[in-house]
Amino acid sequence: MTMLGDRQQLSYIASQAADARLNLELETEGMTLNIGPQHPATHGTLRIIARLDGEQVVWAEPACGYMHRGYEKLTEVRTFPQVTTLVNRIDWLGSFANEVPFILAAEKLMGVEAPTRAQYIRTILFELSRIANVSLFLGDLGVQLGAITPVFLAFRDREYVLNLIESATGGRFHPNFDRIGGLKDDLPAGWIDETRAVMKKLRSFCDQIEDLLFGNEIFQSRTRGIGVIPRDVALQYGLSGANLRASGVDWDLRRDQTLPMVWDKADWKVWTHPDGDSFARCWVRLQETRESTKIVDQLLGAIPSGPVMAKVPKIIKVPEGEAWVSTENPLGEMGYYVVSRGDLGPFRVKIRSASFNNISITPWLLRGVYVPDIVTILASLYFILGDIDR
């Protein structure tokens, strides 16, 4: 036998013990179903270990880490401007929104603030990435429940938003557009009118999805009363975003904290739902997409003129200190705790991503549900694997 390192040996022993425990339990308990890491329902490599009694879940646990890429560690060997390339890939459906809190944290440490025009454009792109992200959720929801048509509508209409993001930033999925002190470029000509037209399309997409899915009796019977998260449990597990608001907690970081962003310049509403079930979570997301299109529409008309980049040195050295900035990302609260020792790159970065906390509730939530409801609940919790594993 080859010699194993201490850590490898420990993990080997641990895996053996886990197998033994599982075998022991297999004889007395029902069937253990391994959903994932390669399973059509988990759109990524999340693995849910569920012990079943018939089709009822007795015990379930998410096993994550199959896609861990070590971004927190990687940031320590990058310079500050380079980090955006990494954090882009955390929640890959709403990449621009990932860059913003990190850049804001760095700006906070440096004591610079982006010009107003840059703040407006940031907020607009932030909301566009939310729309791109959540519109795919709305389509995917149908597939998870067996309706194959909505997802194609979602892909069609998300494409318009991605085109907008691409024409402004140059990247469809990974814009890498945010800079410390502002933005890389100004908006291209004609972008604002185009965005207005697309927002109109997206609003009609929301209506379409509402007709196709949310009004459907089967959809309602599959989601109403399924996976109910009461208000206090949601708070205990540290849920955030739409999952928390669907449990009746009126909490939205866009409104509740003051950042150098311009959400307060637009008139919009934070939607909550009292039920806390799967339907409520989906419904809140649908309404949020509509609100986002409203925010974008209002901000487009109010973009002031001016530079998009503040005066920052060519070589960015962030002064010593620590900063925590979090924003309301498409999936929930996303925050970065940045520690700097005055070097070119961060000394340590802690990433708080929404999905990781959101799926921590699954062992509590999946107990006692049926196998089909696992899919409904996971779909309605809405996670992105990159956001869980980082």
- Nearer to other proteins (CB atom), residue 183 or residue 375: 375
- Tell me the closest approach of the beta carbon of residue 88 to other proteins, in angstroms: 28
Cβ(171)–Cβ(177) under 8 Å? yes
Tell me the C-alpha distance between 242 and 358, whole Å. Answer: 10
- Nearer to other proteins (CB atom), residue 35 or residue 242: 35
Torsion of CA 254, 256, 262, 265, to 10 degrees: 110
Structure tokens at 352: 């708080």
Q: Cβ contacts of residue 141 below 8 Å, gap of 6+?
A: 150, 213, 282, 379, 380
Query: Which residues, in sequence order, are bridge partners of residue 59?
Result: 51
Q: Please name the amino acid found at residue 112.
A: V
Using alpha carbons, list the distances in angstroms from residue 335 to 24, 137, 186, 338: 41, 22, 26, 10
- Nearer to other proteins (CB atom), residue 260 or residue 372: 372
Residues near other proteins, by CB under 8 A:
31, 33-34, 39-41, 55, 142-149, 152-153, 156, 212-213, 216, 218-219, 221-222, 370-375
- Nearer to other proteins (CB atom), residue 292 or residue 376: 376
- Tell me the closest approach of the beta carbon of residue 149 to other proteins, in angstroms: 5
Whether cis (ω within 30° of 0) applies to the bond prior to 37 is: yes
Using alpha carbons, list the distances in angstroms from residue 366 to 30, 52, 107, 375, 380: 16, 11, 41, 10, 13
- Nearer to other proteins (CB atom), residue 4 or residue 218: 218
Cβ(97)–Cβ(89) under 8 Å? no
- Nearer to other proteins (CB atom), residue 130 or residue 222: 222
- Tell me the closest approach of the beta carbon of residue 16 to other proteins, in angstroms: 23
- Nearer to other proteins (CB atom), residue 153 or residue 339: 153
- Tell me the closest approach of the beta carbon of residue 79 to other proteins, in angstroms: 42
Cβ(335)–Cβ(357) under 8 Å? no
- Tell me the closest approach of the beta carbon of residue 55 to other proteins, in angstroms: 7
- Tell me the closest approach of the beta carbon of residue 160 to other proteins, in angstroms: 13
- Tell me the closest approach of the beta carbon of residue 216 to other proteins, in angstroms: 6
